[in-house]
Chain A
Amino acid sequence: MSKLMPLSEAIRKYVHDGDLVYAAGFTHLIPFAAGHEIIRQHKRNLVLARATPDLIYDQMVAAGCVRKVIFSYMGNPGVGSLRVMRAEIEAGRLEWEEYSHFSMISRLQAGASGLPFMPMNPTAAGDLERVNPNYRQVIDPFSGSPVVVVPPLKPDVAIVHVQRCDAEGNAQIWGIIGEQKEAAFAAERVIVTAEEIVDESIIRSDPNRTLIPAFIVDAVCHVPYCAHPSYTQGYYDRDNEFYLSWDEISKSRQKVQEYLDEWVFGVPDRSAYWEKLGPEVHRRLRVGERLSVPVNFGSY
């Protein structure tokens, strides 16, 4: 059964005010188009979880969609800080819950596996464990040594961008696979956005690449260039220039508002956004070919 629908419909149907949202992707495949659609639909009181909030959450916080953030590294990768989130936290206007990368991802792993908690070895850096009561210590019943445990993270909705999937939602990713699979399995509802919608036979030609099976997916949206200014491996490059320019834009709340007015509220959807970026940017982000060698699955 096809689950294809426009992104605006998927957000309307599956993202509700107050939801815990996990828009996945470690630097790679960040679903910016979905974040922008959430802003356009004026969703409110969201709890946003991501290991690295990245610009997508900075923008959603700036747009007033967010009550709380859950993260493990709140920076503009390679550039500096996420100025909007940082200012809101320093001003006491934004709730936050903080982890290290591994404990954040362990929470997702627990959620994705249906476990009550995940154990990890102690790190002895006690301050995060002191300020965040979700870190607990238990005694390993086998060795008697202390183990740190964190509870499952179970998003109401996960949004995952992929290179290709079929109309039912069998989704394939290559390149950095971050926490996409875990986010999808941990979540109650799953929205998949894809660069390409392909026939099921293409998915079946390369089953090891399928990270997300259709039966956990609720909506499939065909959204080329969904990830910009993040990237999609093999489709378009990361727009590092934009990441650098956000550092300037986000110094002023007025400039942030102007950005949202022009690039989020000023366009109806991602294809208009991509057109608006113009041929110069398209050219700059184009990537050449570096093909993998086909493998033989065998005919049985």
Chain B
Amino acid sequence: MADYTSAELLTINAARLLRDGDVVFVGVGLPNLACNLARRTHAPNLVMIYEAGVIGAQPTRLPLSIGDPTLVSGAISVCSMYDIFALYLQRGNIDVGFLGGAQIDRYGNINATVIGDYLHPKVRLPGSGGSMEIAAWANRCYIITPHQKRRFPEKVDFRTSAGFLGHRREREAARLRGGGPQAVVTDIGILEPDESGELILSALHPGRTIDEAKENTGWDLRVSASLRFTDPPTETELNILRNELDPGRIYLRGGE
């Protein structure tokens, strides 16, 4: 294995999914790093929007929280929470949303609410935040997560946000404006929905195997007929991440 952490691998592969000009609803942590990396490489015109109501942020330091003051100074606009969700997200002005959660199922539905029974929770998680709306209304959603069996059950305990529900047809019938999850980036590879909306293995990172991916997935993971390998992280990408974006290695240490 070359010398990069799994957090670096996740961030770099997420950044590569972003397109120049994308308007992105950004979360803190790895999605924030991925957006900043994309802006410094292939997507200089990417616009970062935060659910705290900040549009076109240009953070000069790594924000710990989604409402950090560095997001405000130098931003294009700051609006209320109601406006960011109504005018920007619900209206259809967001190209990309990032999501994460404790559980992601076969059809890309996410649980960020509770493990076990809702009223008598075994583990009480933070809950939806904005993810219920992001998953429904952003044009494309990307999920970044470590690849572990317990995180990839056949079915989530609680559907906090919608993937393709039980089948792509069901999402279409619900007439949500967003396109749903487009890719799940893990430390083993990338899962993408097939024509039915089921997540299948579409790419492996260098050195990883199909067996590893299958062993760490809670459903019978199918493999794309056009399975590819991702390009290893480049020196340029690693340098920007390590020297400019997270020199204190707050987020990038993960998986060392």
Contact = CB atoms under 8 A, between A and B. Distances in A.
B177 A89 contact: no
Contact of B78 (A77, A81, A177): A177
A30 to B, nearest CB: 9
Contacts of B121: 89-90
B160 A127 contact: yes
A131 B124 CA distance: 15
B124 A102 contact: no
B124 A101 contact: no
Q: Chain B: interface secondary structure?
A: loop
A138 interface: no
A97 to B, nearest CB: 11
A101 B162 contact: no
A105 B81 contact: yes
Contact of A105 (B73, B82, B127, B159): B82
B29 A105 contact: no
Candidate in B81, B129, B135 with the most chain A CB atoms within 10 angstroms: B81
Contacts of A103: 132
Nearest to A287: B69
A121 B136 CA distance: 9
A233 interface: yes
Contact of B82 (A71, A100, A128, A182): A182
A290 B131 contact: no
A125 interface: yes
A176 B54 CA distance: 7
A71 B65 contact: no
Contacts of B126: 73-75, 81-82
Contacts of B29: 78
A102 B94 CA distance: 15
B132 A100 contact: yes
A145 B125 CA distance: 32
B63 A74 contact: no
Contacts of B128: 72-73, 98-101, 125, 128
B98 interface: no
Given A100-B129, A102-B90, A178 B80 contact: yes
Interface string B2-44: 0000000000000000000000000011000000000000000
Interface in A61-108: 71-75, 77-79, 81-82, 86, 89-90, 92, 98-103, 105-106, 108
Interface centre among B51, B69, B158 (most CB of A within 10 A): B69
Given A89-B121, A100-B132, A125-B160, A178 B81 contact: yes
B133 A233 contact: no
Interface stretch (A13-21, A191-199, A235-243): A235-243
A175 interface: yes
A105 B85 contact: yes
A46 interface: no
A172 interface: no
A177 B79 contact: yes
A253 B133 CA distance: 35
B238 interface: no
B127 A243 contact: no
Given A124-B165, A127-B113, A178-B53, A98 B66 contact: no
A174 B54 CA distance: 12
Contact of A176 (B52, B127, B159): B52
B120 to A, nearest CB: 7
Given A125-B128, A176-B52, 12 more contacts: A90-B122, A99-B128, A105-B85, A108-B82, A122-B174, A127-B118, A127-B159, A175-B78, A176-B71, A178-B81, A237-B69, A290-B74
20 contacts: A26-B53, A28-B67, A77-B66, A81-B125, A102-B132, A105-B82, A122-B174, A123-B133, A123-B135, A124-B136, A124-B171, A125-B128, A125-B161, A145-B175, A176-B52, A176-B72, A177-B53, A178-B80, A179-B80, A238-B67
